[in-house]
Chains A and B, each alone.
Chain A
Amino acid sequence: MSPPRLTGALRSFSNVSKKEDFTEHLHDLKTKRLKRRELFAREGLTWQKIVHFCSEDQDKAKRQAANQELKSLLLAAKEIVGPDQGQAAFESAAVFLFETFHNKDHVGTEETRAIKQMFGPFPSSAAEASCACVARLVAPLGESRVENFIQSLCSRHNPQRGSSFGRNIVLSYDCYTLDPLEDLPCSGIDEENVSLDF
């Protein structure tokens, strides 16, 4: 809970700010994750493109192996998003997992956090399985080819660098600190009892 503040009193007792009940509108994290998944689905990289990329220019045996891995990745994605979602949600999650693990050999803290931010709590076995699937999928394709493929399609990897407002502003993180005039007198002697009658 916030300590008592002047601005809190001003918001409550003056008529110069918008009166709003914050508890009414709180977006929970579930809604936010849903919104992020929607935005991610619009980002350019699709499941069809991944399927095509992983199976093109491959001989029959390799193509079959790749298809098997793609199926497994989709299953792992289904476990992560939950079975009550539609096929589009599974595919979008599989795309996210492919993008997350294409250059990773294990599920680290960053990856765990990224998946949780997107889908909420998830079974770690599904993350491990998807990481292994992606590793087997990209191994025969070559690191740079996979990287180029993702870079060319995923808008998240091509942010408009240098165009952000205030990028050159040097912000000071200093904050106001206590600046007392004097320390607490050590003894706390009752000064009123000291006689001034000389």
Chain B
Amino acid sequence: MACARVPLDEQQVTEPGPLGREHTLPALHPTRKEDRCFVPYKSPPEDGSPAEVEEFMEHAKFITEDLEWLLTLPHDKFWCQVVFDDSLQRCLDSYLHQAPRGLDLASLPSSPAVADMQRSVHRAVFLTFLRMATHKESKENFLTPAVFGEIIYENFLFDIPKILDLCVLFGKGNSQLLHKMLENIFTQQPSYYSDLDETVPTVLQVFDTILDKCGLHCEGATAMEPMKLNAHKQPTAMAMSQQDLVDLILYLCDSTTTIHAFLDIFPAACSSFHSHGFLSRLTSFYEAAVPELEKAVRKRNFDDKGLQQDLWKRLSHSCRKMVEMAHQLLHHTCLQPILEGGENMQTFADELLQHFTSFFT
């Protein structure tokens, strides 16, 4: 066990070496990790065939056992495992990639046993991320904040896509806890703000891609990018295959829900989105894409009326999320500074009016 009241990153430990002789080494050292072999997560089977259920249960049992073991490790051993065990990071990543979201088409597990197991994995994964986002567990167990920031950033323990996944998977009902986690991560490692800044154009690109797939273009986007010569040949939302339309609406639904959850949990991110003109691009997108997609869902001939209803709900949900996102952005970047009464109140008020004017034109 490492000694107390010294940050973990400065501690040394004396342990028996491979040949049985005692040796001293840094408390955070690759030789101190256990060879545990974490397995990747697989999502619960949709059709519930016994073999697939068995496979899911087996993977999930291994993961919960291993993560519960990880959570019982002392602070120094936990961080050795987290930093040096690639299989652990791949296991956590696979959960963020594969775990069913509440909005997925088939998100309900097929049996109570599967649902229970899924909840166990869900909890263990969340607690692992929570512990990874905590640089001070107690008076004795802590990392130097700057070193903590460096560790989580350099080892990709957190990155922007992971943070967004965490928000959409765990945000509902755990927003306070997630807010604390994200606040600590961004405070101790400001490079995440730069990464966020770098990510927003890709988010905008996602909206442009949706427009592109519908054979449309966005006002803000055309100014920056040359139009493809074959752009007129793009299929429209009415003409594309039904599967493409389904995918497009699922994509829109996921994107809007994810960004909304992130901004809701971590409003400090609003300024990064705002600085890229996100609000005006979002409104242009809404204006161009929503009527087209609504028309397609209403007028196309669906053999499965349930699917048509579902797509409509998803589209309507996306609209709500886009409107709420606009509220969040306006609130945190214009209204809040006015309410706080800072120096540039007039500038913020002008900006707010400008936004309202552009909404009406």
Interface on A for B, CB 8 Å cutoff?
Answer: 2-11, 13-18, 20, 22, 25-27, 29, 31-32, 35-36, 39, 113, 116-117, 159-160, 163-166, 169, 171-185, 188, 190
Contact = CB atoms under 8 A, between A and B. Distances in A.
Contact of A176 (B72, B78, B101, B203): B101
A178 to B, nearest CB: 5
B61 interface: yes
Of the candidates B119, B209, B254, B297, the one having the most CB atoms from chain A within 10 angstroms of its own CB is: B254
A179 B317 contact: yes
14 contacts: A6-B164, A7-B96, A9-B206, A13-B205, A14-B161, A16-B160, A16-B195, A164-B71, A172-B173, A175-B107, A175-B169, A183-B313, A184-B312, A184-B313
B335 interface: no
Contact of A117 (B62, B103, B314): B62
A32 B62 contact: yes
Contact of B160 (A14, A163, A190): A14
Interface residues of B, number: 84
B205 A35 contact: no
Contact of B299 (A10, A113, A172, A188): A188
B137 interface: yes
A169 B126 CA distance: 11
A35 B170 CA distance: 31
Interface of B: 35-40, 43, 57-59, 61-62, 68, 71-72, 78, 86-87, 90, 93-94, 96-98, 101-105, 107, 119, 122-123, 126-127, 130-131, 137, 156, 159-162, 164-165, 168-174, 177, 195, 198-199, 202-203, 205-206, 209, 247, 250-251, 253-255, 257-259, 261, 297-299, 308-309, 312-314, 316-317, 319-321
Contacts of A13: 202, 205
Nearest to A190: B299
Given A3-B250, A10-B164, A27-B40, A20 B173 contact: no
Contacts of A177: 102-103
B302 to A, nearest CB: 10
Nearest to A175: B102
